Amino acid sequence: MAFVTALTEGLGIEIPVIQAGMQWVGYAELSSAVSNAGGLGILTGLTQPTPGKNPKLKRNKAEVLMHIFLEDLRKEIRKCRSMTSKPFGVNLTLLPAINPPDYAAYARVIIEEGVKIVETAGYSPGAIIKLLKTANIKILHKCTTVRHALSAEKLGVDFISIDGFEAAGHIGDTDIPNMVLLRRAAQSLHIPFIASGGFADGQGLVAALGLGACGINMGTRFMSTVESPIHINVKRAIVEGKEEDTELLLRKWKNTSRLYKNGVAIEAKKIETEQAGSEFKDVQHLVAGARGKRVFIDGDVNAGVWTVGPVLGVVQDIPTCEILLKRIEREALETIAKLNQLSKPGSKL
């Protein structure tokens, strides 16, 4: 028996599981492994410092020489394609910034390289979604509220990724868990949706399907795999961690983020909540992305803040992506079969 859902049919994958686009994690090594195992791997666009040069622009010799090296996303897409013949996507997250990245340039490279699936997220995505849709790209848009999901539906996206309160990273400010949020999505949306936040196994996949989703999106679970390009110390911290080992930061500035609960996160939390008149600049040095990147590279889990979800309490090993996805598939099918027995007289869990 194989899974057939709107997600598997729409994206051409075998198992309705997506690897989340994760900063400093979504590289070709992990994404290709997920895709090869039957799920959907996602490259993280903004993990790449530059998108790629525009061949249509006229440049002087100095500019041409400079732009030879500004091909990071294009190279990563090509690298991923050399490692898998199966579908994969690219995440493009739009975040507010004083000097934002050239999102249109990233989108252009995605189009030029023939990527057919994009996971979008963030603020005011309309222009980027419109640009991507002109290239017939299937779009999965991440939302933390049904209200935003309905707006994205009007923009013409193909799937909504519903991110509940259990998710890692940017979780919004409504604190609605997936048990409620997924049912509200099922009641309100007219397009398929994916469950994100709190999923790590086949039992979770079945629960999501039962609540109306067509598949699940996993981040923390894929961080702790053999192919995940982060330090083994971080993977072990996830395996050894408990569901209480996360912290919510930046709520005061309407940018709530769920992060690993270490000394840096606790210090930032105290400044945010206990220091009268505290401003973002007071914690900026603690939550800087560069520090989080060093955690993944050097393996000092206390060197900076890094994203992880409370589902780390469920994660208990570091398998290959193939072993993980086949296990999830098996667990899900066994769970469905077990539930089906409940309709028979005398059956019980």
pLDDT of residue 100: 87
pLDDT of residue 158: 98
Which whole number is the average pLDDT over 138-159?
97
C-alpha angle with apex 220: 214 to 226, nearest 5 degrees?
105
* pLDDT for residue 316 is more than 50: yes
Q: What is the per-residue pLDDT across 176-189, written as a single tens digit (0 to 9) for each?
A: 999 999 999 999 99
Torsion of CA 291, 297, 300, 304, to 10 degrees: 20
Whole-model pTM?
Answer: 0.93
Residues 6+ apart with CB under 8 A from 92: 45, 46, 103, 106, 107, 110, 118, 119, 120, 121, 128
Least Cα distance to 196 among 172, 166, 163 occurs for: 163
Which whole number is the average pLDDT over 180-205?
98
pLDDT of residue 295: 98
**By the 8 A CB rule, do 53 and 79 touch?**
no
The greatest distance separating any two alpha carbons of the chain, rounded to the nearest whole angstrom, comes to 80
Confidence of residue 95 (pLDDT cuts 50, 70, 90): confident
DSSP state of 212: T
Confidence of residue 51 (pLDDT cuts 50, 70, 90): confident
Residues 6+ apart with CB under 8 A from 252: 272, 273, 278
Cross-strand pairs, 158: none
Written as one string, the DSSP assignment of 270-288 is HHHHHSTT--GGGTHHHH-
Confidence of residue 98 (pLDDT cuts 50, 70, 90): confident
Residues 6+ apart with CB under 8 A from 72: 48, 49, 50, 51, 52
d(CA 237, CA 219) in angstroms, rounded, equals: 15
Confidence of residue 68 (pLDDT cuts 50, 70, 90): very low
* pLDDT for residue 56 is more than 60: no
Average pLDDT, the chain: 93
| pLDDT > 90: percent of the chain | 88
For residue 319, with 0-12 CB atoms within 10 Å meaning exposed, 13-18 middle and 19 or more buried, which class applies?
A: middle
Domain with CATH 3.20.20.70 in the chain: 6-223+319-343
Q: What is the per-residue pLDDT across 247-293, written as a single tens digit (0 to 9) for each?
A: 999 999 999 999 999 999 999 999 999 999 999 999 999 999 999 99
* pLDDT for residue 65 is more than 80: no
3-state class (DSSP) for residue 89:
strand
**By the 8 A CB rule, do 73 and 52 touch?**
yes
More confident residue, 348 or 93: 93
Confidence of residue 2 (pLDDT cuts 50, 70, 90): confident
Q: Structurally, what CATH architecture does the domain formed by 6-223+319-343 represent?
A: Alpha-Beta Barrel (3.20)
Confidence of residue 123 (pLDDT cuts 50, 70, 90): confident
* pLDDT for residue 241 is more than 60: yes
Least Cα distance to 89 among 71, 66, 67, 113 occurs for: 113
Confidence of residue 66 (pLDDT cuts 50, 70, 90): very low
Residues 6+ apart with CB under 8 A from 201: 221, 314, 327, 328, 331
Which whole number is the average pLDDT over 312-317?
98
